[in-house]
Amino acid sequence: MTNSQKENEDELEKLRMENELKKMKIILENNAMFFEPTNGNPIDPYIENEFLSNIEAFEKNHANAERILLYDFIGKPVYREVEAISDSQMPSELEKIMEVLHANEIQLDTLCEVDDRELYRFITQELFLHEIDNMRIKGMMCCFIYEEFHPNHAYDIRNHCTDFIESFLNKETDFYCNSLTIEAEENQWYKNFRDAFESFVLKHFEIIDLHFDDENASVRFEIDFTGTTEGDGAKQHYKGEGTIGLIYQYDFWCVQDVVFPTPA
């Protein structure tokens, strides 16, 4: 090893120790958690140091920041009332207001398609009145999602049901439990059904109908999957219609019950 290589390695080791001290300080002061990369590759010490320094700067500014209206934060820009904008003018007016947000490190996204007029109305009549911390850190964005203010329940129900089915029929994970109500999680049917098979192959899943109110949802679906039993390798084929019942709890749609088609 040359002197240059040794000096570089010494510098890296010093940086790694500094990073460990930074992480320990952040954990103790903010009850934070850090996880190692799942791919087993070590994090570049320089990148990690910059990341940790940004966290420290954020926490320091956050502790001392006052709360102000988002409209004040972006400099009280002049804008037109939504009712005064024609349909043909709306796309350009929305683009202008989005550019102002982005220039002030405010990011607004939507999970589903939202009409331009509704999005403009939301920004000027709701988001502008939302309080945020009066702090700016270079390279950091303050992010909002439209559906956090106006949930799209049909979209959420479809996604939760799809995620549940895919996880439930994947024996390598128990993530499906996170989709269940407490009562459903205590129901041994879910565990017993999965334990009866060594593996599953999901060929098709499609939601064909759904209904919901403020508290409950019912979903009808088509499914085609095969379960292979342990030991003898026998296959059980499930194909046809089934149902999923959900309950809205803690701002989340949870699976309460599932009915699969009768096996062929």
pLDDT in tens, 105-162: 999 999 999 999 999 999 999 999 999 988 887 777 899 999 999 999 999 999 999 9
Q: What CATH number does domain 153-259 carry, 3.10.450.50, 3.40.50.20, 2.170.150.70, 3.10.300.10? A: 3.10.450.50
Please state the rounded mean pLDDT for residues 31-44. Answer: 71
Least confident of 16-25, 104-113, 163-172, 221-230: 16-25
Higher pLDDT, 59 or 162: 162
Give pLDDT, residue 6.
62
pTM value is 0.72
Which residue ranges make up each domain of the chain? 3-64, 67-149, 153-259
If you count them, how many residues does the chain have? 264
Q: Average model confidence (pLDDT) for the chain?
A: 90
Predicted confidence (pLDDT) per residue in 221-231, tens digit: 999 999 999 77
216 forms beta bridges with 247
| pLDDT band with cut points at 50, 70 and 90 for residue 43 | confident
Contact (CB, 8 A) for 53 and 25: no
pLDDT in tens, 78-116: 999 999 999 999 999 999 999 999 999 999 999 999 999
Long-range contact pairs involving 221-227 (C-beta distance under 8 Å, separation at least 24): 221/161, 221/165, 223/165, 223/260, 223/261, 225/169, 225/200, 225/201, 226/200, 226/201, 227/196, 227/197, 227/199, 227/200
